[in-house]
Amino acid sequence: MFDIGFSELLVCGIVALVVIGPERLPRVARTLGVVFGRLQRYVAQVKSDINREMDVADLGKVKTEFESAARSFQSDFKSQAADVEREVRDAQAAIEQSLEKPAASPQMDLGIEVPPPPPLPPKGPGEQ
Calculate the CA dihedral of residues 36, 20, 14, 5 and round it to 10 degrees. 20
pLDDT over threshold 70, residue 15: yes
pLDDT over threshold 90, residue 78: yes
pLDDT over threshold 80, residue 114: no
- Nearest-Å Rg of the Cα atoms of the chain is 50
Q: What is the pLDDT of residue 56?
A: 85
Domains in the chain, number:
1
pLDDT over threshold 90, residue 36: yes
Whether 122 is covered by a domain: the verdict is: no
- Alpha helices in the chain, H assignment, sequence order: 6-20, 25-100
DSSP state at residue 111: S
Whether 17 is covered by a domain: the verdict is: yes
Whether 117 is covered by a domain: the verdict is: no
Query: Which candidate, 32, 51, 53, places its Cα nearest to that of 43?
Result: 51
- Calculate mean pLDDT across residues 92-98: 87
Whether 124 is covered by a domain: the verdict is: no
Domain enclosing residue 88, as ranges: 7-98
At residue 30 the predicted structure's pLDDT band, cuts being 50, 70 and 90, is very high
